[in-house]
Structure 1
């Protein structure tokens, strides 16, 4: 049986089956990217809940796997060279799992898919997250309106970019891919958690709302959105 005892994180989150992928996560928009990907590909995995309310992400055990103290992170006991592979950053994990399985990153569309993955990671996710902070969380206490307006305007612009790219397409690169798995959870968060659709022109978008609904209708997505299960 595979031995993962050399990874300190397994002392806090023991691997019940160390022969399968170990997922350390929380069902946030970044976290569910990987649980959805694992559900879509059918890879065997074991989820472990990293509780932000308990500061699990700041413990030495978690930091030993991801020194940037962010979820998700994985250990694949069957890495490319046959040795266990630790990996963090959701985009990197999506690419790795796509290449491992030969799914959701077809060679003919590889760079088109990767450009939209980077669009989410470098723009859409950070801007939506900042807007959510200033609108729904602690940022509401800041009287200066300029920070919130900056992120509101940028979120609206990015939605328009996405809406235009989806014109005549069901999926952002023409077929379902890791780019959709990266993008759509952030759209769901913007709409349902941050509740800023009225501030970002959501109602004027021709394609994005139906795109999100298509994504959420997928059985693997419905499962992955609740993994790891919250206590």
Structure 2
């Protein structure tokens, strides 16, 4: 019987769901994985709600810390970075900048791109198209990634010259610009940053866990996966 790993991750293949996977793969931390199946509404089960009262993914349980539970993807990244001393600058100002860009993703890029995706790929597919909402969220998503493009001018990564949890959080969302129908044309610094992270084997490996979802990136059978995605979220769950 195999020994339980220190970290138990509950997640699914979504932009938020991949964030802790990216960290754990990049950090070389072994972990146990439970794939939460949205089609079975496992995120709403009584067992899961005891861990995450919001009924969303991801969630981690740190078995080395009295089974301490952390939910919310940004909080998970910060917790793991502090626990393992990786992908978080030691300098106080740089740590603050990392937190600022992490919050920029959590409060801006994620919600806006997520709504752009929802209204186009789920609501519209289920007969609830709203052109005004779509334009609103696509335009705001574009504005936010323009801010990122400006930040990345002359920089390798978002903070200093090191890959941090801010990059991890931002990458899983901005890399899915296709799914949100947000153009990256005319944003060379952002595109170079995406290509730089595309070249990181551990990050790319993470995007295959718990299962690949190539449609988010405009690959594979997009229509089939789009239809499946719309169906599983038909009840706004």
Q: TM-score range by the shorter chain?
A: 0.7 to 0.9
Q: Select 1:130's aligned residue among 115, 118, 121.
A: 115
1:100-119 → structure 2 map (5 Å cutoff) = 100-108=83-91, 109-119=94-104
- Equivalent residue, structure 2, for 1:75: 61
Preserved contact between residue 57 and residue 70 of structure 1 (Cα < 8 Å):
yes
C-alpha deviation, 1:170, in angstroms: 1.2
- Equivalent residue, structure 2, for 1:49: 35
C-alpha deviation, 1:74, in angstroms: 0.8
C-alpha deviation, 1:20, in angstroms: 2.2
Preserved contact between residue 104 and residue 178 of structure 1 (Cα < 8 Å):
yes
Preserved contact between residue 27 and residue 86 of structure 2 (Cα < 8 Å):
yes
Structure-1 separation of matches of 2:129 and 2:36: 33
Determine which structure has the larger helix proportion and give its number.
2
Render the CA deviation track for 1:177-223: whole Å, top value 9, x for unaligned. 000000001012222x33x14xx4x1111211121121121111011
- Alignment: residue pair count: 208
Preserved contact between residue 88 and residue 98 of structure 2 (Cα < 8 Å):
yes
- Equivalent residue, structure 2, for 1:183: 170
C-alpha deviation, 1:27, in angstroms: 1.6
Structure-1 separation of matches of 2:57 and 2:130: 31
Render the CA deviation track for 1:74-127: whole Å, top value 9, x for unaligned. 111112xxx221111111110011111111111211000000000000000000
Render the CA deviation track for 1:130-187: whole Å, top value 9, x for unaligned. 0011222223534542211111110111011000000001101122100000000101
1:137-148 → structure 2 map (5 Å cutoff) = 137-139=122-124, 141-148=127-134
219-228 vs 68-77, which moves further = 219-228
Preserved contact between residue 123 and residue 129 of structure 2 (Cα < 8 Å):
no
Q: TM-score, normalised by structure 1?
A: 0.85
Q: Select 2:22's aligned residue among 17, 33, 36.
A: 36
Give unmatched runs, 5+ long, in structure 2: 213-237
Matched residue of 2:176: which SS?
helix
Preserved contact between residue 25 and residue 31 of structure 1 (Cα < 8 Å):
yes
- Equivalent residue, structure 1, for 2:205: 223
Q: TM-score, normalised by structure 2?
A: 0.83
Q: Select 2:136's aligned residue among 140, 143, 150.
A: 150
Q: Select 1:60's aligned residue among 46, 50, 59.
A: 46
Render the CA deviation track for 1:44-102: whole Å, top value 9, x for unaligned. 201110011111101111111001011110111112xxx22111111111001111111
- Equivalent residue, structure 2, for 1:9: none
Structure-2 separation of matches of 1:59 and 1:170: 42
Structure-2 separation of matches of 1:16 and 1:88: 26
Matched residue of 1:47: which SS?
strand
